[in-house]
A and B are shown apart, each in its own frame.
Chain A
Amino acid sequence: MKDDIQVRIAGVAGDGSFLTGDILASALKKFGYYVVTIRDFPSNIRGLPSNYTVRGSLKPIFGRKDFDDFLIAFDPQSVKMHLKDLTEGSICICNVEEKTEFTDNFIKKGVHYIKVPLRDIARKEFSLELIKNMVAFGMLSEIFDFDDVLINYVVLKHFKRKGERVIELNKKAIQRGRELVREKFKGNESVFLDYRIIKSEDKRRILAMGNELVSMGAIAAGLRFLAAYPITPASEVLEFLSKEIPKFGGVAIQAEDEIASINMALGASYAGLRSMASSSGPGIALMTEAISYAGMAEIPIVIYYAMRSGPATGLPTKTSQEDILFIIFAGHGEFPKIVLTPGTPEEMFYLTTEAFNLAEEFQVPVIILTDQFLAQNRFTLDRDKIELKKIEIKRGKLVKVEENSNIPSKDGFLLRYKIEEDGISNRFIPGIKLGVFGTTGLEHDEAGYDTEDEEVRIKMVEKRMRKIIYIKEKVPKPQILGPKESIYGIISFGSTYGPIIEVIDRFKKKGIDLSFFRILTLWPFPEEEIKRFAEGKEKIFVVEQNKSGQLQFLVENAIPICKNKIVGVRKYSGRTFRPIEIEEKIREEIEK
């Protein structure tokens, strides 16, 4: 019986492996499993290798496990490609004739091979090659011991819209897959006993993509305006919100480029809406001038940033944490900015809602920084974790349009940038009857009109920068997991959460405690908290997905005296960490 299984479905883009994976994910979820689905796809529509991994576990999971239990390979090439991820006891279902002999580079010791001509069966028996996916799913269903009730449920869920004929065809294909397994292993069924699913009841969990959770968080927070340009891995936010926002009186615009998108969002925010622009590295690079403008004109704006591998066009469909220093310093000149880094599905939702509050309370740009792994993969989340009542909407010093009090004006001009102790001025929006106001990216006076006066310049710089003091008090605090007094610490953020908590668990079983400092606000950097965390530590592992150690650079800057205790654990292949990669590096260091 398996309480944690991982299936990889591999073929070429256009093969339909994502749908197969999604159906498997629905089935596992129905049996009470936590699920993660991981897309690994090329920046290409058809023909290049692509694969989809589904992991199901009875314990909460947020990432890939070390090895695959199953590989469904729709071509022999995929076997070769993913052999390294198989291990003792893994099962490889491969689309080849039964009599095919594999050469050495297709074979790994301890892996069971099931050779079935899936494509031929699909073509000959169903006149539809694509249905090979469902034959393969049928084979898994037999091995996992899925019952017909469940199969009918998932087929209906995924093919309801396609009509009765398609539903029946898919059911038949699944039954054919089950038969194949029964035929092949007649009298030898015990091989699979280990792989039976532990069936429990459906826990009513949400299964959603990170980008969807961000989008829903934004709506719940009152987002009314999105402008974006299509880009992997952020496009789903544009797609989701283009469908949803108009339903409650908002706007989603596909702009002509990212420069237009953020400026449109700034225009909308200036006019009073909660607004967002979303993109990835190349698009955010184009937005940096406008980020600086938002800082100067003090227009609240939320920017959703899903990182991918760079530089330049890089690996468009692969994950990374390469843009840490870029984003915290993005924009010319000096101005406060907030960068939030969710690492779990729950945080993708809630930190997004928080981003809108922080943007309006401090009238600054707020960036929600994720990566391809979090953005485009699906995760389960307990339904009761999402409580909309818990989400407050805080609009800071926004003055209502209908306001008719005696807010001081200077000859009909409202003091939009009045110098205040906390650096935050009353925010007016055009349409307010009390008067008019100026807004500019030039240095300006209290009414918002440009000036080069030295004294005003100094006061205005100080006013804007003063906000940082109050921002530091309000932003989400880092989370420390595991015993604080442990001599070994890990510092990381974002999508590394999944593998790291598994690594901590493994060490704990061996009697070694690791304490994990999770950064939720990357900027302003939690220097004070890191200083406290570092006390008494013998080794601090900074885990990040880049080559140069950008997070480590920030950590070392916070605790220079601990520099020789800091060890970087890095990966920059475009693929997410597997727990074992972190585990081995830490073990090596601890055993030194």
Chain B
Amino acid sequence: MKKNYEGYKKPTWCPGCGDFAILSVLKKTFAKLKIDPTQTVVVSGIGCSGKSYAFIYSNGINTLHGRVLPIATGIKLANPDLKVVVLSGDGDTLAIGGNHFIHTARRNVDITLIIMDNKIYGLTKGQFSPTSNQGFITVSSPYGSKEFPVDPVVLALTSGASFVARAFSGEVNSLTQIIEEGIKHKGFAVIDVLSPCVTFNKVNTYEWYRENIEFIPENRDLSNLKEAFTLAVYTNGKIPLGIFYKKERPTYHELMLDSKNPCREDLLCGRDRVVEIIEKLCE
């Protein structure tokens, strides 16, 4: 076992990037939960978040842009014994991969999705993203973004995710608690982490977030969907943080696999059935 889940590479993010905190919390959570890196897959996509697969000691797969969730779904369904954690960005999950976000939530695939949400495309040097605020001026929105931002929390709630939370990488305590809860959750856990991009996003800075976030009450019935929506949507202009919703329901692999593990099945076991079908087709 590698000490502290040190990855193959040292992180190459810009100094001060919000993603450092997320990575560090994730490693500590792995350690705390004694997660076996050989029985775990970290899935990442494209963008600054995509680099994460190499920064943590576990199996890591870096997918095509936007395809983290289908790849993660395939892995989990193929071998449900594996722990699957997805590290993705706001562009990766909500723009190019937006379709998959909805359907993975509907299926309640047993994976944890951490969105490293910096409201910008960092790796391509500063274009607006689907979570960018309206009016946000970037190199590709020189007159201000005309698009209304998507709210990953609300979208996750409407789509059927069974654990939905938001955290801020500048608030490490709550981030730690939320990531741990998310990883322990059985089902599709969505964690939107506000993660400042210090190089390209000069609007949504650490200071800006500190002024604009608000923690939602903790001691609630977390399975109350109506309350979750209310807290997520009616915000008095502040960005609500915390766990909005948590309610277990059968996961996709439980429903699809009937407690079997396809990886452990004999490859020849379908042949008798083929013979049966062939005999029937001979009739």
Contacts and interface: CB of A to CB of B under 8 A. Distances in A.
B250 interface: no
A437 B70 contact: no
Contacts of B39: 430-431
A205 B213 CA distance: 71
A413 interface: yes
Size band of the A side of the interface? 35 or more
B172 interface: no
Interface of B: 1-2, 8-9, 37-41, 51, 53-54, 57-64, 67, 69-79, 81-82, 99-100, 102-103, 256-258, 260-265, 267-271, 273-275, 277-278, 281-283
Given A256-B100, A438-B54, A439-B60, A249 B265 contact: yes
Interface string A400-441: 010000000001110000000000000001111111111111
A12 to B, nearest CB: 29
A430 B269 contact: no
Contact of A449 (B8, B73, B258): B8
B271 A271 contact: no
Nearest to A411: B2
B268 to A, nearest CB: 7
B38 A267 contact: no
A214 interface: no
Interface stretch (A222-230, A335-343, A557-565): A222-230
A220 interface: yes
A225 B278 contact: no
Interface string A269-303: 11111110000000000000110010001000000
A458 interface: no
Contacts of B61: 267, 270, 297, 438-440
Given A219-B271, A412-B2, A267 B75 contact: yes
Contacts of A358: none
Interface in A433-478: 433-442, 447-450
A253 B252 CA distance: 10
B64 A290 contact: yes
Interface in A223-249: 223-225, 227, 244-249
Given A220-B270, A222-B270, A251-B262, A442 B79 contact: no
Contacts of B53: 438, 440
Nearest to A223: B270
Given A212-B281, A249-B269, A438-B54, 7 more contacts: A221-B267, A246-B256, A248-B273, A264-B77, A393-B267, A393-B268, A411-B2
Most B CB contacts (10 A, CB to CB) among A207, A212, A259, A386 go to A259
Contact of A263 (B51, B59, B64): B64
A271 to B, nearest CB: 4
A45 interface: no
Most A CB contacts (10 A, CB to CB) among B61, B75, B78, B262 go to B78
Given A273-B262, A413-B8, A433-B38, A264 B74 contact: yes
A212 B222 CA distance: 47
Given A257-B99, A293-B64, A386-B278, A264 B59 contact: no
Given A216-B278, A267-B70, A430 B8 contact: no
Contacts of A448: 60
Contact of A224 (B1, B78, B271): B78
B273 A224 contact: no
A244 B256 contact: no
B75 A431 contact: no
Contacts of B60: 436-439, 448-449
Contacts of B71: 263-264, 266-267, 270
Contact of A225 (B54, B72, B77, B260): B77
Contact of B54 (A266, A383, A449): A449
A268 B74 contact: yes
Given A264-B70, A271-B75, A436 B38 contact: yes
A432 B38 contact: yes
Contact of A388 (B78, B269, B271): B271
A267 B73 contact: yes
A360 B40 CA distance: 23
A222 B268 contact: yes
The 8 closest A-B pairs by CB, nearest first: A267-B74, A222-B267, A263-B70, A271-B78, A440-B62, A249-B265, A268-B78, A264-B74
Contacts of B267: 221-222, 224, 274, 393
